[in-house]
Amino acid sequence: MPTFSRLATSVLLLALLLPVPAASAAEFNVTVADFFFAPDELFVNAGDTVNWTWDAVAPHNVTPVQEGAFTPSETMTEGTYAVTFETEGTVPYFCTIHSAPDGSEGMVGVVNVLAEGEPLPEPLPTPRPAPDPGALPSADDAVGTALAWSSLFDDGAATTVLLGRDDVFADSLASGMAQGFEDAPLLLTASEALDDRVAAELTRLGAQRVVVLGGTDAISAAVVTQLEAQGLTVERVAGPTRIETAIALAQLLRPDATSAFLVRADGTPDGDPTQAFADSLSVGGLAASTLDPVLLSQTDRLSDSTSAYLQGSSIDEVTVVGGTEALSEQVATDLEALGIAVTRVGGATRFDTSQELASAFLQGPPDVVLLVDGQAPDAWVSGFTAASAAESAFIALSNGPDIPTTTADLLLVQLPAPAGTPVLCGPLTDPVACERAGVMGQATSLPSPDVRFAQMQGSNEVPPAPDGPLGDFTLLPTPADDAVCYEMVTYQLGETATGAHIHAGGAGVAGDVVVALTSPGDLTTVRDCTFDVDPTLVTDIFANPADYYVNVHTAGSPGGAVRGQLFAPEVIGIVELQTSSEVPPSDAAGNGFGLFLADRDDDTRVCYFMGFFIDGEEAAAGHIHEGAPDANGPVVQELALPPGVPMTGGAAEGTLCVQVDPALQAALLTSPSDHYVNIHTEAHPDGAIRGQLFNPFAGPPPGAAAAFASAR
């Protein structure tokens, strides 16, 4: 459900454990974010108090898995809930809305209560502050690039430093985990002699120990002698090949690891050197955070050395990074034969893989996005040495001066924090790409009143096109006066899109193209920006949205397949459609979600995204009712239903608008929680799934907590 993703990810926050000292007991804080608890595990003593503080868009609650362990919280989006734990034991808890019914997975957490006075595990170290956005100092070579990233460490802040060879990436390929585990930068030097700049940096950092990556062919004995002459302890981690070096690093630092990443060890037959490390660029930063070892394998099968290591290790989960051209299906089969659970995360390109990794592993926005040129032959230099740049960082990829659409998707939707996502650019990153990524990181989405929205359908075209497909378009404000950033979604378009534009023209008028947008092609969702637009035009589009429309063209409808007039939206609320919310509860099998918006310039118009699934049943009708969560009320507005998703029976998804009485629009805006939405089927004429309207930006609605808490 694209609209939900846009809302939810725009407000995700990371948090750290903050102990509050007290005379005889302590307090611990947990952030209730979308859709996780941070931290999700606590160690406390009997008599200590845990404070859960909400910072979320969607409604959440804190409920013990074992009934009676503590009193559940109400369902809300803001406020604090406190529990004092008096009895020793392990207390798992969950949000009943966004977890499995038994609390086994989803939005879950646990409080481990130790005896009063029993020492608690060592607290997490205070993280280094996130670096400022912008660009690092320029660099002319690999050594200088590594030094630029290392400059983010304060003087005397790194007692351990990793050292790799400056002209070959092989032994640095698996260094991400080590950088995070040791909180250590990766420096590079020539093989035969220690670079003077590196020697000076070791002194500045206050280094006491250097971990050398690779054998003497990579870093010579002469370099080790020079390091020891500086009074440093030197530890060499090496194997016959890069594969064994990665294993040695895992054995040294993470002998008890239970999960790992697996990446390709070698390049392609055509000799493209970037292919070997392409899928590892973003993995390094993730491994620095998760502390999962990065292991290597050949492409056609699991390498013997890696297989032997895994058989003797405690690792039972492996994430295979990259598509089958990087690591074949045989590699996955070989892992499964060892009894290891395998998850593949990979796309058609390194840019797609980076996006997939973010989707799979990031629970919230990082402190900073590190932008690295992912296509440059020496991309490894910046990508690998960036892994230690911040406690919470993600390495995103540019392509020369361009921001690929998958990276734009990350910056505009998946990674943003409420105050924007800082972007720090590597020394080798093109300045144009750096500037554009910075703009994307600061784009604002719903519920900002500054966004502009359009609901698209065929009947809006001039002349009208077939009215089956739907779409929606959100224009995102940015700090740049010459950028048009947006999210565009099409539903059941039925054929490949050939173009997309913003046109000048009011409703019922065919106007000229004023901004070319990225064509969706075969995609359903595109998030991107068009740059170098006339600033006067950008200002006018936001100021006078009704004078502009958006449409998508196809070969079958070259004049436009779906079109929508821009308008200024105001959030009415969201609904989570559940069978348990019906009164009495429905025995249907289904669920859904909806987002409702009002047109601020038209008091008779309400637009909404709805996506839902009812197993084995087709939706027959949808309504807005007036009524409290525990009561049935009269229909106040019939809703048009989005078309069914092909091949999925009772599934439907799309954005539509309806004409409403002005008094109803006003009532929905001022008291959304006095209304509910439901979907009816022939088998469930009184309602199959239902949800109370809820404005997530105005606090929990009176009386709605019970309905949300009972939802599964």
Q: Which residues are catalytic?
A: 60, 95, 98, 107
676: CB partners within 8 A, 6+ apart: 575, 581, 624, 625, 627, 629, 633, 690, 691, 692, 693
Amino acid, res. 557 = S
* Spatial distance between the Cα atoms of 393 and 373, rounded to a whole number of angstroms: 16
Return the structure tokens found at 120.
């608690």
The sign of the torsion formed by the CA atoms of 577, 578, 579, 580 equals negative
Residue type, 659: Q
| DSSP per-residue letters across 492-558 | S--S-EEEEEEEE--TT----EEEEE---TT-SEEEEEE-S--HHHHHHHHH-GGGEEEEEEESS-T
What's the rounded Cα separation, in Å, for the pair 77 and 697? 8
Q: Which residues contact 516 (CB under 8 A, 6 or more apart)?
A: 499, 500, 501, 530
Element (H, E) at 593: strand 590-599
User: How big is the chain, counted in residues?
Assistant: 712
Collapsing DSSP to helix, strand or coil, 575 comes out as strand
The Cα 35–Cα 266 span in angstroms is 38
Give φ, ψ of 199 to 5 degrees. Answer: -60, -40
565's CB contacts (< 8 A; 6+ apart) are: 454, 460, 506, 507, 545, 546, 548, 549
C-alpha distance from residue 701 to each of 19, 126, 475, 694 (Å): 32, 38, 29, 7
Reduced to 3 states (helix: H, G, I; strand: E, B; else coil), residue 441 is helix
The vertex-83 CA angle with 78 and 86, nearest 5°, equals 170
In angstroms, the Cα distances linking 532 to 435, 482, 516, 604 are 12, 5, 11, 36
How many CA atoms lie less than 13 Å away from 412 in the CB half-sphere? 28
Nearest to 535 by CA among 480, 485, 487, 486: 480
Q: How far apart are CA 159 and CA 182, in angstroms?
A: 9
**Cα 563–Cα 454–Cα 651 angle in degrees, nearest 5:** 85
Q: Across the beta sheet with 63-64, what order do the strands follow?
A: 41-45, 106-114, 89-99, 63-64
